[in-house]
């Protein structure tokens, strides 16, 4: 399942996948895979993404 | 007695070297992110399974000729086992972007892989041409040409496959970047 909330939060911060990847210390492909729903990140990476985007875990990763 | 002691020293030396390599390997893996590490692990698993299956195939081939396969044929088969398993490893890793450092482009490896594949292809053709000039009967043809030259072919195949997959990956990445820009 695609993570559109992550994609829109990244776009709202005006960050490219590459820039977000650098902030989280991962590869661009990992961010791309998370957005496409192809990779299920660990809590550690989820927290790093949330911190980089100033969002909470619920806002970005909690399924509704 | 002395040779046995040397053999034991070599054995434990090899074990220590492997242990050091594993520890250093763990440290170098820290450079890769969690998704890459997951895929590198999968790539090792598939390469190991492939190697096991191919070695089993080699044993069957050897048994088929009464465990009398010439030594150079056996070494050549083992080179093929290594080349195919390594190809499985690199293709899987490249396909899942697992063997490039974070934010590094796979393009950096293209020159090296093309260079290696060209080098071994030249060696393979050179070997074939050298053997083709000799008068060989069918059995020598089978043993010498098929096995000796196939070693260079196996070594050329591995980087050639890597080059092809890096090029495909680069095209795919360009498309992906264009989609992200839209």
Considering the domain boundaries, does residue A64 fall inside one? no
The pLDDT tens digits for B169-178 are: 889 888 887 7
CA distance A32 to chain B (A): 9
Q: Report, as an integer, the average pLDDT of B93-117.
A: 84
A7 touches chain B (CB under 8 A): no
What residues in A contact B101, CB-CB < 8 Å?
27
User: Over pLDDT 70: what percentage of chain A?
Assistant: 98
What is the pLDDT averaged over residues A42-62? 92
Which chain B residue has the Cα nearest residue A22? B103
The pLDDT value given to residue B92: 94
**Measuring CA to CA, which residue among B166, B120, B126, B118 is closest to residue B145?**
B126
Q: Is residue A16, in this structure, part of any structural domain at all?
A: yes
Residues 40-59 of A with CB under 8 A from B: 41-42, 44-45
Of residues B105 and B50, which shows the higher confidence score? B50
Residue B53 has pLDDT above 90, yes or no: yes
Which of A27, A29, A36, A32 lies closest to A4, judged by CA? A36
Q: Per the domain annotation, does A63 fall within a domain?
A: no
pLDDT in tens, B115-125: 999 999 998 88
Evaluate whether residue A29 is within a structural domain. Answer: yes
ipTM of the complex: 0.83
- Alpha-helix runs per DSSP H in A1-64: 4-12, 17-24, 28-36, 43-53, 57-61
Percent of chain A with pLDDT over 90: 55
- pLDDT given at position B141: 61
List Cα–Cα distances, B11 to B3, B16, B19, in angstroms.
12, 9, 12
Rounded to the nearest angstrom, the minimum Cα separation between B117 and chain A is 27
**What total number of domains does chain A contain?**
1
Chain A CB contacts of B169 under 8 Å are none
Instruction: Give me chain B's average pLDDT, please.
Output: 82
Kindly state whether A30 is in contact with chain B, defined as any CB-CB distance less than 8 angstroms.
yes
CA–CA dist B122, B126 (Å, integer): 6
pLDDT above 90 for A27: no
Which band of pLDDT confidence, cut at 50, 70 and 90, is reported for residue B109?
confident
Q: Which residues of B touch A39 (CB under 8 A)?
A: 35
pLDDT in tens, B145-163: 567 778 888 889 999 999 9
Distance between B98 CA and the closest CA of chain A, angstroms: 9
Q: Where are the alpha helices (DSSP H) in chain B?
A: 2-29, 34-64, 71-95, 110-133, 138-140, 150-181
A33 located within any domain: yes
In chain B, where the domains are located: 1-30, 35-181
Residue B30 predicted with pLDDT over 70: no
CATH label of the domain that carries residue A47 = 1.10.260.40
B138, pLDDT greater than 80: no
Cross-chain Cβ contact B34/A33 below 8 Å: no
Q: In chain A, whose CA is at the least distance from the CA of B32?
A: A26
User: What would the mean pLDDT of A43-61 be, rounded to a whole number?
Assistant: 93
Asked whether residue B85 carries a pLDDT value surpassing 90, the answer given is yes
Q: Could you list the residue range(s) of the whole structural domain that residue A23 is in?
A: 4-55
Tell me whether residues A33 and B33 touch, CB distance under 8 A: no
- Which one has a higher pLDDT value, B56 or B133? B56
């Amino acid at each position: 399942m695609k993570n559109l909330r992550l994609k829109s939060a990244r776009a709202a911060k005006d960050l490219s996948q590459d820039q977000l990847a650098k902030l989280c210390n991962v590869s661009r492909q990992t961010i791309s895979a998370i957005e496409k729903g192809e990779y299920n990140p660990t809590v550690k990476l989820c927290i790093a993404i949330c911190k980089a985007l100033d969002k909470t875990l619920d806002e970005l990763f909690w399924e509704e | 007695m002395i040779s046995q002691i040397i053999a034991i020293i070599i054995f434990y030396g090899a074990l220590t070297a492997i242990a050091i390599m594993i520890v250093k390997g763990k440290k170098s893996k820290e450079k890769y992110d969690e998704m890459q590490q997951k895929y590198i692990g999968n790539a090792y698993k598939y390469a190991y399974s492939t190697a096991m299956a191919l070695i089993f195939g080699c044993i069957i081939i050897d048994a088929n000729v009464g465990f009398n396969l010439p030594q150079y044929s056996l070494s050549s088969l083992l080179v093929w086992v290594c080349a195919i398993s390594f190809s499985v490893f690199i293709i899987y890793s490249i396909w899942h972007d697992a063997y490039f450092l974070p934010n590094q482009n796979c393009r950096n490896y293209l020159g090296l892989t093309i260079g290696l594949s060209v080098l071994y292809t030249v060696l393979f053709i050179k070997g074939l041409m050298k053997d083709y000039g000799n008068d060989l009967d069918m059995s020598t043809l089978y043993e010498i040409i098929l096995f000796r030259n196939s070693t260079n072919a196996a070594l050329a195949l591995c980087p050639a496959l890597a080059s092809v997959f890096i090029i495909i990956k680069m095209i795919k990445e360009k498309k992906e970047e264009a989609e992200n820009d839209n």
